Amino acid sequence: MQQLVAELEQARVGRVSLNEPLAGHTTWKIGGPADIFLVPDSQEQLAAAIRVLHRHGVPWTVLGRGSNTLVSDKGVRGAVVKLGAGFDFAQFDGSAVRAGASFSFVKLSVVAGKEGLSGLEFAGGIPGTVGGAVYMNAGAHGSDVSRIFKSADIVWEDGTLETYGKDEMAFDYRRSVLQDRRGIVTEATFQLRKGDRKEIAAAMASYKDRRRRTQPLQMACAGSVFRNPPNDHAARLIEAAGLKGAREGGAEVSLLHANFIVNHGDAKAEDVLTLIRRIQSTVEDRFGIRLVPEVLLMGER
């Protein structure tokens, strides 16, 4: 381990730390330590770090703002990569916007609206980063990333860098090629369209008010836990199964929105996993539908 750390530091890959607690890096406020925690600040640093890890056969995973992610209580073996300040930018060129992978997806929707550009209104309630949104083909309100996506720069697991267009990304419902081939988005370009600032602001205000009334945003949570099944909503099924308010340890199915699991302050990852399994089995027994988790499970089981 010391030799690996020394090689990473020699390669100047950014911040390198050992046994970094991940609870402080997730919106659920849950998670054990990462063996190695890397924070590169440029594509060059990221590619160098991935090449070193690849050469040593060390597994790695990437963590954005920690939404939509459940980190094991035992932590993560190998390395966790979190993109640093050098990936936190947004640049406009006419009706297109190029944004770094660590830039807030919510903030991107806000600044685009101020530029009078339409197409990102749906993103106003999606926590997390641009990179995470591309990875998951994040969406809401009848739209998603694939509708506005133009291209993305990706560092693959051998440290090589490529630019992928929309067709190469193989977008589907909450899916992209990145769930089949290991890589890290470093930046993405979205094609927007000119719009009326007042109309854009009104739409975003309406979405924001709806979120405030229907989602437990004041509590530690990770967004929607399950994908919506075809022609239905996970929240409706969970509520109809009588699981609103169901609790395991410090984790609870939100009384405000049944597809959210909230942390009352002392929840463990195992509490959340137990609730997830209970929801799946109850809904399947009741309705014959197996709910598929939308949250990413990270770390040692």
Instruction: Output the pLDDT for position 211.
Output: 82
* Dihedral Cα 10, 13, 18, 22, nearest 10 deg: 180
Span 271-283, average pLDDT: 98
221 within 8 A of 263, measured Cβ to Cβ: yes
Indicate whether 151 pLDDT > 90: yes
Task: List the alpha helices (DSSP H) in the chain.
Answer: 2-10, 43-56, 105-114, 130-136, 166-169, 197-214, 234-240, 269-287
C-alpha span between 216 and 87 (Å, rounded): 29
Q: Which one is predicted more confidently, 142 or 225?
A: 225
- Architecture of domain 86-199 in this structure: 2-Layer Sandwich (3.30)
- Please tell me the distance from the alpha carbon of residue 235 to that of residue 71, in angstroms, as a whole number: 23
CATH 3.30.465.10 range(s) for the chain read: 86-199
Strand ranges (E), the chain? 15-21, 33-39, 60-62, 69-71, 76-81, 90-93, 96-100, 117-118, 139-140, 143-144, 149-156, 161-165, 183-191, 193-194, 247-248, 251-253, 261-263, 296-298
8 Å CB contact between 290 and 300: no
| Mean pLDDT of the 87-94 span | 98
Q: What is the C-alpha to C-alpha distance for residues 87 and 188, in angstroms, rounded to an integer?
A: 11
pLDDT at residue 1 is higher than 80: no
- Per-residue pLDDT band at 164 (split at 50, 70, 90): very high
Q: pLDDT for 117-139, tens place per residue?
A: 999 999 987 888 999 999 999 98
pLDDT band for position 183 (cuts 50, 70, 90): very high
Q: Tell me, what's the pLDDT at 204?
A: 87
Out of 109, 146, 174, 252, the active site residue is: 174
CATH of domain 2-82: 3.30.43.10
pLDDT at 19 exceeding the cut of 80: yes
The question of whether 294 is a catalytic residue gets the answer yes
Residue of 15 and 210 predicted with greater confidence: 15
Average pLDDT, the chain: 95
pLDDT band of 292, cuts 50, 70, 90: very high
Can you state the angle between helices 2-10 and 43-56, rounded to 10 degrees? 150
The reported pTM is 0.91
pLDDT surpassing 80 at residue 295: yes
All CATH 3.90.78.10 domain ranges of the chain, comma separated, are 216-298
Question: How many angstroms separate the CA atoms of 208 and 54, rounded?
Answer: 42
Per residue in 229-260, pLDDT (tens digit) is 999 999 999 999 999 999 999 999 999 999 99
Of the pLDDT bands very low, low, confident and very high (cuts 50, 70, 90), residue 73 is very high
102, 146, 224, 254: which is the annotated catalytic residue?
224
Q: In angstroms, rounded to a whole number, what is the distance separating the alpha carbons of residues 83 and 81?
A: 6
CATH number assigned to the domain with residue range 216-298, chosen from the 4 options 3.40.50.970, 3.90.78.10, 3.90.1150.10, 3.40.50.620: 3.90.78.10
User: For residue 154, is pLDDT > 80?
Assistant: yes
pLDDT at residue number 89:
98
Q: Is 143 a catalytic residue?
A: no
Pinpoint the residues of the chain covered by CATH 3.30.43.10: 2-82
Res 267 pLDDT > 80: yes
The backbone torsions φ and ψ at residue 18, rounded to the nearest 5 degrees and listed phi first, read -110, 145
Annotation says 224 is catalytic? yes
> pLDDT > 70: what percent of the chain?
100
Tally of CA atoms within 13 A in the half-sphere of 68 that contains its CB: 23
- Please, where are the H alpha helices in 144-268? 166-169, 197-214, 234-240
Question: What is the mean predicted confidence (pLDDT) over 22-26?
Answer: 97
